[in-house]
Amino acid sequence: MYINKFQALKIGNLQINLPIIQGGMGIGISLAGLACAVANAGGIGVIATAGIGHTEADWDTNPKAADTRALQKEIQKTKAGTDGVIGVNIMVALSDFDDL
């Protein structure tokens, strides 16, 4: 039997019972599926924005629009898949971070 020996993490009005934050791994790794699994297990699920639009049809011609649209889709899927705590990892090293 698993016994949680960690103290809950409190951030504002949020309580994370398992104080583990999933790392943001880009290019299709940290998306809704993984973020939901982590959040549903009691941690903080994270969506990574680096290369998030790489599967969109216009990625080669309009990567900014592809990234923005893909991020919106992943946030919607994640919110639909969990009531847990989620976050978004936006790397400042990205050239369009301020638009995301």
Residue pLDDT, tens place only, 9-19:
999 999 998 89
Helix extents (H) in 1-100: 32-40, 63-81
Helix (H) or strand (E) holding 48: strand 44-48
Task: Check residues 15 and 3 and name the one with the higher pLDDT.
Answer: 15
Q: Give the residue-averaged pLDDT of 75-80.
A: 99
Q: Is the pLDDT of residue 2 over 70?
A: no
Q: Which residues contact 11 (CB under 8 A, 6 or more apart)?
A: 85
pLDDT for res 75: 98
Q: How far apart are CA 9 and CA 16, in angstroms?
A: 5
Helix (H) or strand (E) holding 88: strand 85-89
**Any bridge partners for residue 9, and if so which?**
16
pLDDT for res 94: 62
Counting Cα atoms < 13 Å in the Cβ hemisphere of 73 gives: 13
pLDDT in tens, 39-54: 999 999 999 999 999 9
